[in-house]
């Protein structure tokens, strides 16, 4: 017989009380774990999207007429020809103070040029950076591997009636079609994509850049600061963060998280209160018993540890059960929140168990102090 | 040399919203080791209060209590708890066993804050239970024992640390007279084995077993005298 065992036995004597004490923690931790793992998964999903977008900052010349939006590129030939950015600006972007946060700075050059007798928009970007700048591109055929190769957007391919292996002529040169993009829903569907240098040569603008796509290494990176610093480095350019869509989705997750945290906090507070009330009731009920324990030589500390062991057992069991229930709930609810891959994240569960223990013990502090302060004469006085 | 148990000018006042009740008024007592003292008196005379003060369960309003030369008022709450555990065994009228523990576990309760092997504790408990006549009933719950048997368990619990002093507050109050006699036999036996026994009782028949009788009235010692040679009844 030791205090731990005494506490354990006491719990079994008052099963319904123990269940009631544990219920608050169970519900609180269950809610907490469910919400935390759901938001973690939602964040992961959003982060995946962010990463797939690649670039998150767009640098364009400060030209009123030229409106280049991500996914909404409209071109007036004349304006494009007068692109005011150059390859030298890449260095300037690379040398901002937060440059170590820049994962990539990709120059794009757009020009309208002949393609086998049709006037099409040519988009040039460094051939080696295509895979990173447009990771979502799917194509039949192969990516560009050497000079003299192009990729056709799906509409351009249809208009030219060319496929992989075909040739496109422009400015007296022959280009081999390496691959054809599957429809992306973007303007590039109608474009011919080639290496930057070749498109610059076609446009007769050897160092010209229409826009830069900048990808910052981001989880919580200071995009606004980076935007500001690039703006300072390139006074003639308009720099904008292009994460609105993702950001708004992220804001929704944040909102959900805040709401969830609020709900968890309330449920946890109620759980703590339930512990407090039930343990306080148990102390009141056991005045005599505590007096006897004091009379037979229990120090105050022993009474404290008896009560803490009791709620410790209950908190441990109920928070483990709560965490499991929370994980299960998150798993079941995942599809409702558009989360496809629902792996089990252990850290919210562990955190939940820790919080549950903390909560149980915290709720026990006032009643335990009260119990320890009880006079041992209570046992005898009741005679 | 100080007496084994010594009370000097002990007063115990209880304040109850404005009114003050004096449960003990300047009580001075000297009790030697090996005495068997019965304490009698009307209900409300202060008998239980005297026991709690003697046992270090409460600190008197004024006056000093010393046992084995230790001044109880000089002890911290923790040291006092340790002192109770080592020096004093309490037996209550209502047994005060923990209903969810077996007889053996109840006897072990005072040892539970201490580091000792579970096996050792259980063996000691079993030995004691046998010595109070409960061989074979170690695994019963209090609800499965008679009143007299419960009181035997409580006595075994009081003895677990082999204290030199036993304080009993009407230990036979809840028992029929035949069972009460058996419990008193047990106390006599313990007294003979060297324990100092102080027992509050209503029952004048107890007087035949004790060596000394103290009668309280209104918080004062009204009578105090030696009794005839003990164990004549045995
Ligand atoms: N904790 C207490 N608070 C207030 N009054 C008390 C308390 N304990 C005892 N008393 C009072 O002190 C007096 C002596 O009580 P007690 O020692 O229990 O007497 P006895 O055991 O002889 O019946 C009684 O008048 C009782 O009402
Ligand atoms: Mg009394």
Q: Clarify whether residues A107 and A231 are in a common domain.
A: yes
Q: Clarify whether residues A40 and A164 are in a common domain.
A: no
pLDDT at A240 over 90: no
Can you identify the CATH homologous superfamily of domain B34-62+74-226? P-loop containing nucleotide triphosphate hydrolases (3.40.50.300)
Query: How many C-beta atoms lie closer than 10 Å to residue A116's C-beta?
Result: 17
Pocket test for ligand 1, best of A291, A377, A381 (most atoms within 8 A of CB): A381
Q: Clarify whether residues A96 and A45 are in a common domain.
A: no
Residues of A with CB under 8 A from a CB of B: 1-3, 5-6, 9-10, 12-13, 288-289, 292-302, 375-377, 379-383
Last residue of some domain: A220, A241, A262?
A: A241
Residue nearest to atom 27 of ligand 1 (CA): B44
B119: β partners: none
ipTM of the complex: 0.89
Residue of A nearest to B85 (CA): A297
Given this model, what pLDDT does residue A106 score?
93
Q: Clarify whether residues A93 and A225 are in a common domain.
A: yes
Nearest to B100 among A13, A292, A301 (CB): A13
B38: β partners: B199, B213
Provide the token pair at A276: 């407090």
Domain boundaries, position A112: 57-241
Residue nearest to atom 20 of ligand 1 (CA): B44
Mutate to test the interface with A, among B109, B143, B200 (most CBs of A within 10 A): B109
Q: Clarify whether residues A371 and A265 are in a common domain.
A: yes
B21 lines ligand 1 (CB under 6 A): yes
Residues with Cβ within 8 Å of B181's Cβ and at least 6 positions away in sequence, in order, are none
Pick the atom of ligand 1 nearest to B15's CA.
Answer: 4
How far is residue A213's CA from residue A60's CA, in Å, rounded to a whole number? 9
Burial environment of residue B135 by CB neighbours within 10 A (0 to 12, 13 to 18, 19 or more): exposed
Residues with Cβ within 8 Å of A278's Cβ and at least 6 positions away in sequence, in order, are A17, A20, A21
Task: Report pTM.
Answer: 0.69
Confidence of residue A54 (pLDDT cuts 50, 70, 90): low
Pocket test for ligand 1, best of B14, B41, B214, B218 (most atoms within 8 A of CB): B14
**Domain limits, chain B:** 34-62+74-226
Given this model, what pLDDT does residue A218 score?
61
Q: Clarify whether residues A233 and A269 are in a common domain.
A: no
pLDDT at A69 over 50: no
Q: In what order do the strands lie in the sheet with B70-71?
A: B19-31, B5-16, B62-67, B70-71
Mutate to test the interface with B, among A5, A8, A295, A301 (most CBs of B within 10 A): A295
Given this model, what pLDDT does residue A321 score?
96
Task: Return the HEC string of chain A.
Answer: CCHHHHHHHHHHHCHHHHHHHHHHHHHHHHHHHHHHHHHHHHHHHHHHHHHHHCCCEEEEECCCCCCEECCEECCCHHHHHCCCEECHHHHHHHCCCCHHHEEEEEEEEEEEEEECCEEEEEEEECHHHHHHHCCCCCEEECCCCCCCEEEECHHHHHHHCCCCCCEEEECCEEEEEEEEECCCCCHHHHEEEEEHHHHHHHCCCCCEECEEEEEECCCCCCHHHHHHHHHHHCCCEEEEECCHHHHHHHHHHHHHHHHHHHHHHHHHHHHHHHHHHHHHHHHHHCHHHHHHHHHCCCCHHHHHHHHHHHHHHHHHHHHHHHHHHHHHHHHHHHHHHCCCCCCCCHHHHHHHHHHHHHHHHHHHHHHHHHHHHCCCCHHHHCC
Nearest to B98 among A289, A301, A383 (CB): A289
How far is residue A359's CA from residue A301's CA, in Å, rounded to a whole number? 20
Provide the token pair at A220: 């919580």
pLDDT at A66 over 50: no
Q: Which of B82, B65, B132 is nearest to B103 (CA)?
A: B132
pLDDT at A68 over 60: no
User: What distance in Å separates residue B55's CA from the closest CA in chain A?
Assistant: 8
Query: In Å, how far from its chain's centre is CA A124?
Result: 32
Given this model, what pLDDT does residue A217 score?
67
B53 lines ligand 1 (CB under 6 A): no
Last residue of some domain: A193, A208, A241?
A: A241
B193 lines ligand 1 (CB under 6 A): no
Report residue A312: phi and psi, to 5°: -60, -50
B16 lines ligand 1 (CB under 6 A): yes
Pick the atom of ligand 1 nearest to B42's CA.
Answer: 22
Q: Clarify whether residues A27 and A105 are in a common domain.
A: no
Q: What's chain B's Rg over C-alpha atoms?
A: 18
Q: Clarify whether residues A227 and A269 are in a common domain.
A: no
Nearest to A377 among B58, B111, B118 (CB): B58
Answer positive or negative: Cα dihedral of B85, B87, B93, B95: positive
Q: Which residues of B touch A1 (CB under 8 A)?
A: 101, 105, 108-109, 111-112, 118, 121-122
How far is residue A216's CA from residue B32's CA, in Å, rounded to a whole number? 89
User: What distance in Å separates residue B130's CA from the closest CA in chain A?
Assistant: 19
Q: Does residue B145 sit in helix, strand or coil?
A: coil
Burial environment of residue B156 by CB neighbours within 10 A (0 to 12, 13 to 18, 19 or more): buried
How far is residue A363's CA from residue A28's CA, in Å, rounded to a whole number? 13
How far is residue A348's CA from residue A33's CA, in Å, rounded to a whole number? 6
Q: How many structural domains are present in chain A?
A: 2
Q: Which residues of B touch A300 (CB under 8 A)?
A: 77-78, 81
Given this model, what pLDDT does residue A258 score?
86
Is the CB of A300 less than 8 angstroms away from the CB of B121? no
Q: Clarify whether residues A134 and A199 are in a common domain.
A: yes
Q: Clarify whether residues A212 and A99 are in a common domain.
A: yes
Q: Which residues of A touch B95 (CB under 8 A)?
A: none
In this structure, of A9-18, A217-226, B209-218, the range with the lowest mean pLDDT score is: A217-226
Last residue of some domain: A221, A241, A261?
A: A241
Q: Clarify whether residues A182 and A116 are in a common domain.
A: yes
Compute the half-sphere exposure of residue A55: CA atoms within 13 Å on the CB side of its CA: 26
Given this model, what pLDDT does residue B136 score?
94
Query: How many C-beta atoms lie closer than 10 Å to residue B8's C-beta?
Result: 14
pLDDT in tens for each of the 234 residues of chain B? 678 999 999 999 998 778 888 999 999 999 999 999 999 999 999 999 999 999 998 899 999 999 999 999 899 988 999 999 999 999 998 999 999 999 999 999 999 888 888 898 999 999 999 999 999 999 999 999 999 999 999 999 999 999 999 999 999 999 998 999 999 999 999 999 999 999 998 877 677 889 999 999 999 999 998 886 555 444
Residue with the larger pLDDT of the pair A252 and B211? B211
User: What distance in Å separates residue B184's CA from the closest CA in chain A?
Assistant: 19
Query: In Å, how far from its chain's centre is CA A237?
Result: 30
Burial environment of residue B143 by CB neighbours within 10 A (0 to 12, 13 to 18, 19 or more): exposed
The tens digit of pLDDT for each residue in A312-324 reads 999 999 999 999 9
Asked if residue B51 lies in contact with residue B10, where contact means CB atoms within 8 angstroms, the answer is no
Nearest to A297 among B82, B94, B98 (CB): B82
Q: Clarify whether residues A164 and A25 are in a common domain.
A: no
Pick the atom of ligand 1 nearest to B16's CA.
Answer: 4
Pocket test for ligand 1, best of B38, B46, B50, B171 (most atoms within 8 A of CB): B46
Query: How many C-beta atoms lie closer than 10 Å to residue A96's C-beta?
Result: 20
């Amino acid at each position: 017989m030791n205090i731990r065992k005494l506490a354990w036995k006491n719990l079994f004597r008052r099963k319904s009380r123990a269940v009631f004490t544990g219920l608050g923690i169970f519900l609180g931790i269950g809610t907490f774990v469910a919400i935390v793992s759901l938001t973690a998964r939602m964040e992961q999903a959003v982060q995946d999207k962010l990463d797939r977008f690649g670039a998150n900052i767009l640098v364009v010349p400060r030209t009123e007429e030229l409106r280049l939006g991500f996914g909404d590129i409209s071109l007036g030939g004349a304006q494009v020809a007068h692109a005011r950015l150059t390859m030298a600006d890449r260095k300037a972007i690379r040398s901002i103070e937060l440059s170590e946060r820049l994962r990539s700075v990709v120059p794009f050059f757009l020009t309208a040029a002949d393609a086998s007798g049709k006037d099409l928009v040519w988009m040039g970007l460094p051939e080696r950076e295509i895979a990173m700048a447009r990771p979502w591109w799917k194509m039949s055929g192969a990516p560009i591997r050497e000079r003299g190769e192009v990729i056709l957007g799906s509409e351009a391919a249809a208009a030219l009636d060319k496929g992989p292996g075909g040739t496109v002529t422009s400015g007296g040169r022959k280009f081999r079609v390496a691959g054809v993009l599957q429809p992306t829903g973007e303007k590039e569907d109608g474009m011919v994509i080639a290496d930057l240098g070749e498109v610059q040569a076609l446009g007769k603008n050897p160092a010209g850049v229409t826009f830069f796509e900048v990808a910052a290494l981001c989880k919580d990176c200071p995009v606004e600061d980076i935007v500001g610093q690039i703006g300072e480095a390139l006074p003639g350019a308009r720099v904008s963060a292009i994460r609105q869509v993702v950001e708004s989705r992220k804001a929704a997750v944040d909102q959900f998280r805040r709401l969830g945290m609020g709900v968890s906090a309330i449920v946890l507070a109620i759980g703590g209160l339930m512990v407090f009330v039930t343990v306080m009731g148990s102390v009141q009920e056991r005045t005599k018993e505590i007096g006897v324990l004091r009379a037979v030589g229990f120090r105050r500390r022993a009474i404290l540890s008896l009560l803490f062991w009791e709620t410790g057992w209950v908190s441990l069991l109920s928070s483990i059960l709560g965490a499991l229930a929370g994980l299960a709930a998150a798993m079941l609810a995942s599809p409702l929140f558009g989360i496809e891959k629902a792996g089990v994240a252990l850290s919210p569960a562990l955190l939940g168990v820790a919080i549950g223990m903390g909560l149980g013990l915290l709720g026990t502090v006032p009643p335990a102090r009260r119990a320890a302060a009880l006079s041992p004469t209570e046992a005898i006085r009741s005679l | 040399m100080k007496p084994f148990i010594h009370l000097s000018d002990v007063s115990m006042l209880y304040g109850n919203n404005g009114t003050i009740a004096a449960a003990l008024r300047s009580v001075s007592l000297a009790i030697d080791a090996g005495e068997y003292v019965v304490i009698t008196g009307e209900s409300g005379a202060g008998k239980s209060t005297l026991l709690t003060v003697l046992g270090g369960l409460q600190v008197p309003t004024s006056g000093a209590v010393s046992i084995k030369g230790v001044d109880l008022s000089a002890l911290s709450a923790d040291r006092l708890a340790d002192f109770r555990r080592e020096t004093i065994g309490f037996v209550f009228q209502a047994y005060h066993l923990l209903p969810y523990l077996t007889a053996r576990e109840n006897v072990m309760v005072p040892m539970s804050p201490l580091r000792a092997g579970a096996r050792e504790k259980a063996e000691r408990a079993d030995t004691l239970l046998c010595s109070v006549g409960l061989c074979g009933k170690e695994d019963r719950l209090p609800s499965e024992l008679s009143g007299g048997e419960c009181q035997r368990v409580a006595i075994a619990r009081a003895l677990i640390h082999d204290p030199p002093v036993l304080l009993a507050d009407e230990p036979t109050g809840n028992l029929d007279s035949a069972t009460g006699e058996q419990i008193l036999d047990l106390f006599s036996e313990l007294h003979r084995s060297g324990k100092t026994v102080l027992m509050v009782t209503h029952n004048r028949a107890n007087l035949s077993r004790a060596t000394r009788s103290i009668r309280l009235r209104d918080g004062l010692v009204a009578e105090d005298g030696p009794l005839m040679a003990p164990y004549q009844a045995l």
